[in-house]
Structure 1
Amino acid sequence: MTPKLALEFVLLAALWGSSFLFMRHAALAFGPVATAGLRVAVASVVLAPLLVASGHWPTLRRHGARILFVGLLNAGIPFGLFAYALLSISTGLTAILNATVPLFGAVVAWLWLGDRPGRWRALGLALGFAGVAMLSWDQASFKPGGTGWAVLACLGATVLYAIAASYTKKYLMGIPPLATATGSQLGATLGLLVPTLWTWPATPAPTQAWLAVVAAGVLCTALAYLLYFRLIEAAGPARTLTVTFLIPVFALGYGALLLGESITPWMVGCGVVILVGVALATGLLDPGRWALRRQRRPATRP
C-alpha cells in the first residue's frame, strides 16, 4: 500500500470512528429515527450529483428496486439502531460492537450463500462471539435504567449489515460502486421519510446538533463511502477490510478526549478478543497458510 493510500486508509478509519460521536450529539436533539433520516438525506444530496456526473444514473434506474431496498438494510435501519444505542452507552462500546460486522457477515454468508468457513475461520467465529458475550455480559442489563436494549440494538444493526453484504453479493455484483452507494442512501432516505417526519422533535434543535448530523452525512457517509470504494479498487477488499481494526481505536479516543468517557481494561480486553476473532474469521489472520508457507520454504545450506 502506497503512502497516499495508507493516509486515505487512516482517514477512513478516523471518519467512521467519529460517526458515533456525531450521531450521539444529533440523537440527543433529534431522536434516533430523525437522526438516521437526516444523515442519509444529507449523504444523498452529496452523492446524487456525483452519480449523475459519472454517467451511472441509468444503471441505478435499471437496478433501482434492489439497490433502494439494500439501503434500508445497510444504512437506514442500522443508523437508527446505533443512534438509539448511543443515547445510553458509550461511543467506544458502540464501536467495538460494530466491529463484529465481519463475524455476522461470515455466518450469514455460510447460511445463505454456502460459504462454509474452514477450521481457522470457524475458530475465529467462536472466539469473536465469545468476546461479544464477555463484553455484553459485563455491560448489558435489562433492568430499569440498564443498557441491555442498547447492546441488542448494536448487534441488530451489525446483523443487518451482514445480511446487506450477502444480498449485495448475490444480487448486485458488477454494478458500479457509486451507483450502489448513492442508491442505497436514496433508498434509506425514502424509507425513513415518513418515520422521520412522524418523530420530528417538537422543540427546535440547537445549531450544534445540526452541525453534527451534517458532519455525519457529509464526512462519515458520503466522503467515507467514496474513500472506501476507492481503497477497494486500489488496494483490494482484503486490505481495505482491515479498517475494522482501527475504527474502535479512533472511537475510543474521541469518546475519552471529547466526552470524558472511561476506557476500562475489561472493555479493551474484550475488544482485542473480538478483533482477533474477526481477523481469523475473515482470513486476514490464517495460521494454517503461514504453516504451509514455512513447509514450502526451501531449505538453506548450513
Structure 2
Amino acid sequence: MSPKLAAEFLFLAALWGSSFLFMRQAALEFGPVATAGLRVAVAGAVLLPILVLSGHWRAFRAHAGRILFVGLINSGIPFGLFAYAVLSISTGLTAILNATVPLFGALVAWLWLGDRPGRWRAVGLALGFLGVALLSWNKASFTPGGTGWAVLACLGATILYAVAASYTKKYLMGIPPMATAAGSQFGATLGLLLPTLWTWPAQPASAGAWAAVGVAGVLCTALAYLLYFRLIEAAGPAKTLTVTFLIPVFAIGYGALLLGETITPWMVGCGIVILAGVALATGLIDPGRWRQTRPNPASLP
C-alpha cells in the first residue's frame, strides 16, 4: 500500500472511529431514532449529486428495490441502535462490539450462503465470540439503569450488518458500488422518515447537536463511503477490511480524550481477544498457511 493510500486508510479509520462520538453528542438531544434519520438524510443529500454525475443513476434505478432495502438494514436501523447504545455505554466499548461485524459476517455467510469456514476460521469465530462474552457478561444487566439493552443493541446492529453483507453478495453483485453506497442512504432515509418525525424532540436542539449530526452525515458517512470504495478499488477488499482493527483504537482514544471515558485493562484485553478472533475468522491470519509456507530449518544454509 502506497503512503497516500495508507494515509487515506488511517483517515477512514479515524472518521469511522469518531462516528460514535458524534452520534452520542447528537443523540443526547435528538434521541437515537432522529439522530440516525438525520445522519442518513444528510449523507444521502451529499451523495445524490455525486451519484448522478458519476453516471450510475440508471444502475440504481434498475435495482432500486433491493438497494433501498439493504440501506435500511445496513445503515438506517444499525445507526439507530448504535445511537441508542452510546447513551448508556462508552463509545470505546461500542466500537469494540462493532468490531465483531466480520465474526457475524462469517457466521451468516456460513448459515445462509453455505460458505463453510475452515478449521482456523472456525477457531476464530469461537475465540471472537468468547471475547464478546467476556466483555459483556458483567454489563448485561437489564434492571433499570443497566446497560444490557445497550450491549444487545450493538450486537443487533452488527448482526444486521452481517445479514446486509450476505444479502449484497447474493443479490447486488455486479452493481456499481457508487449506486449501492448512495442508494442505500436513500433507502435508510425513507425507512426512518416516519419514525424520525414521530420521535422528533419537543425542545429545539442546540447548534452543537446539529453540528454533530451534520459531521456524522457528511464526514463519517458520505465521505467515509467514498473513501471506502476508493480503497477497495485501489488496494483490494482484503486489505481495506482490516480498517476494522483500527476503528476501536480511534474510538477509545476520542472517548478518553474528549469525553473522559475510562479505559480499563479488562476492556483492552477483551478487545484484543475479539480482534484476534476477527483476524482468524476472516482469514487475515492463517496459521495453517503459515505452517505450510514456513521454510524447513534443515534446508537453510
Check 1:45–1:279 CA distance in 2 against 1; reply closer, same or farther (3 A cut): same
Q: Which runs of 4+ in 1 moved over 4 A?
A: 295-298
Q: C-alpha separation between the residues in 1 aligned to 2:204 and 2:297?
A: 67
Aligned to 1:114: 114
Is 2:140 the counterpart of 1:140?
A: yes
Q: C-alpha separation between the residues in 1 aligned to 2:295 and 2:7?
A: 35
Q: Please report how far the alpha carbon of residue 139 of structure 1 lies from its aligned counterpart in structure 2 after TM superposition.
A: 2.0
Aligned to 1:235: 235
Aligned to 2:34: 34
**Structure 2 residue matching 1:146: 3-state secondary structure:** coil
Q: Which amino acid aligns with 2:68?
A: L
Q: C-alpha separation between the residues in 1 aligned to 2:297 and 2:183?
A: 48
Give the 5 Å matches for 1:116-195. 116-195=116-195
Q: C-alpha separation between the residues in 1 aligned to 2:189 and 2:298?
A: 57
**Structure 2 residue matching 1:139: 3-state secondary structure:** coil
CA displacement, residues 10-37 of structure 1 (integer Å, 9 cap, x when unaligned): 0000000000000000000000000000
Is 2:219 the counterpart of 1:219?
A: yes
Aligned to 1:21: 21
Aligned to 1:97: 97
Q: Which amino acid aligns with 2:209?
A: A
CA displacement, residues 183-228 of structure 1 (integer Å, 9 cap, x when unaligned): 0000000000000000000000000000000000000000000000
CA displacement, residues 88-110 of structure 1 (integer Å, 9 cap, x when unaligned): 10000000000000000000000
Aligned to 2:289: 289
Aligned to 1:79: 79
Q: Please report how far the alpha carbon of residue 245 of structure 1 lies from its aligned counterpart in structure 2 after TM superposition.
A: 0.5
Q: C-alpha separation between the residues in 2 aligned to 1:202 and 1:291?
A: 62
In the alignment, structure 1 segments of 5+ residues that lack a partner are none
Q: C-alpha separation between the residues in 1 aligned to 2:298 and 2:177?
A: 42
Aligned to 1:254: 254
Q: C-alpha separation between the residues in 1 aligned to 2:206 and 2:12?
A: 28
Aligned residue pair count: 301
Q: C-alpha separation between the residues in 2 aligned to 1:3 and 1:36?
A: 34
CA displacement, residues 261-284 of structure 1 (integer Å, 9 cap, x when unaligned): 000000000000000000000000
Q: Please report how far the alpha carbon of residue 143 of structure 1 lies from its aligned counterpart in structure 2 after TM superposition.
A: 1.4
Using the TM superposition, name which of 132-141 and 78-87 deviates more. Answer: 132-141
Q: C-alpha separation between the residues in 1 aligned to 2:265 and 2:297?
A: 40
Q: Please report how far the alpha carbon of residue 298 of structure 1 lies from its aligned counterpart in structure 2 after TM superposition.
A: 9.6
Q: Which amino acid aligns with 1:57?
A: W
TM-score after normalising by structure 2 = 0.99
Q: Which amino acid aligns with 1:104?
A: F
Aligned to 2:5: 5
Q: Which amino acid aligns with 2:22?
A: F
Aligned to 2:268: 268
